Amino acid sequence: MRAGGVMARHGSRVGLTSRAVPVSLVFAVLLLAVAACAGSGQPVDLAKDVTSVDRPSPVGVEENPKTSTTSTTPAPPCDPRASYRPQGPLPPEGQMPNDTTMQRIQERGQLVAGVDQNTFLFGFRNPATGALEGFDIDRVREIAKAIFGDPNKVQFKVVTSAGRLDVLEKDQVDVVVRTFTANCERWQKINFSSTYYIAGQRLLVDRTSNVTSLDQLGGKKVCAAKGSTSITTIKQNPAKLVPVQVDNWTDCLIMLQQGQVSAVSTDDTILAGMVAQDPNVKLVGDRFTDEPYGIGIPKKNTDMVRFVNAVLEKSIADGSWASSYDRWLGSSMGGQAPPQPAYLD
């Protein structure tokens, strides 16, 4: 592997087949090889005789998956960026109003947040401290601060791209803050906050590649996470790509590094995190989708949606959004203003 970067944790890889070879056999083959060497004077490739090396692939990887993770009936049209309007100013921290979702969270003592730990810049584990950090994690801490007066009163639950809707539908988390595109199909099942960032799908290839667009990758393997809007876009591309879907974005980076896929295609934000970890990969071509990020919230908790939208408005107004943006995304994504909130009521 060329560069592990900060995301060195990758427990899903399998070991080399050499583990299965008895030590005595290795010595015997070595002795034979040395004898052969002495006889002919030709160098001998010991590795070839001793073992074969399988290319490790991540657990859960699926090539050209048959089944779709998305529903087949198209969702009715909607404005995915429009959310529920905040109701007045935020209540004082630590004093959530009676009979609200926020009061129940306050009584529980922790906000339960679904996040990623594999996406550098958005939700990743800092190897030096073990803490989760990133632009999405900052949004979680702002919500916790608004409820408790303490940004650390959070129980983080790591969820994959494919698991995001499920944890919200089963009410296992209060919020999902995880590079989550608000779209009409997902609005059918959950609520979204107003948009707090607009990403767009792009392409990541090896530094030496001449490819600049998905259309040039007909018959080639392109990696994205299961259950993401990115994998749907790859599957729908008329150039007939070979979609490779994995559980975590880091799996895509590793597969690209090992030459097992020709490209990774997802939000430019996630790809920028990969570029920051590995100088041997590059972002190419223009954005070809709009991915407005919203905070996912269970369908029944519209009071919480209004509350979170008020928190987002405050974060934009007091400069917290901008300093979080500058810290995590400024150098990769350039200067950007926060998106204007849109409301449906």
Which residue ranges make up the site for ligand GLU (CB under 6 A)?
161, 178-181, 225, 228-230, 266-267, 291
> Shortest Cβ distance from residue 109 to ligand GLU (Å)?
29
Q: Which is nearer to ligand GLU, 81 or 178 (CB)?
A: 178
Q: Let me know: does 220 contact 244? Beta carbons within 8 Å.
A: no
Q: Residue 171 contacts by C-beta under 8 Å, 6 or more apart in sequence?
A: 298
Give the separation between CA 117 and CA 7, rounded to whole angstroms.
Answer: 9
We find the least distance from the C-beta atom of residue 225 to ligand GLU, in angstroms, to be 5
Count of alpha carbons within 13 angstroms of residue 68, beta-carbon side? 11
Smallest separation (angstroms) from ligand GLU to the CB of 179 = 4
Cβ-Cβ contacts under 8 Å for 299 (sequence gap 6 or more): 168, 169, 189, 190, 191
Are the beta carbons of 153 and 109 closer than 8 angstroms? yes
Q: Which is nearer to ligand GLU, 148 or 197 (CB)?
A: 197
CB of 70 to ligand GLU, least distance (A): 10
Structure tokens given for 279: 């100088």
320 — phi, psi (to 5°)? Answer: -65, -40
Compare residues 161 and 250 and give the one whose CB is closer to ligand GLU: 161
Q: φ, ψ for residue 199 (rounded to 5)?
A: -95, 180
Phi, psi angles (nearest 5°) of residue 6: -80, -10
- Of 193 and 229, nearer to ligand GLU (C-beta) is 229
| Token reading at 52 | 């074969």
Q: Write down the least CB distance from residue 207 to ligand GLU, Å.
A: 23
DSSP characters over 238-291 = TT--EEEEESSHHHHHHHHHTTSSSEEEEEHHHHHHHHHH-TTEEEES---S-E
Nearest residue (CB) to ligand GLU, 141 versus 164:
164
As measured in angstroms, the least distance from the Cβ of 8 to ligand GLU is 20
CA distance 176 to 139: 10
Place of tokens 């590649």: 209
Give the helix/strand (H/E) hosting 156: strand 154-158
- At closest approach, how far in Å is the CB of 167 from ligand GLU? 14
Residue number with CB closer to ligand GLU (157 or 314): 157
> Which is nearer to ligand GLU, 102 or 225 (by Cβ)?
225
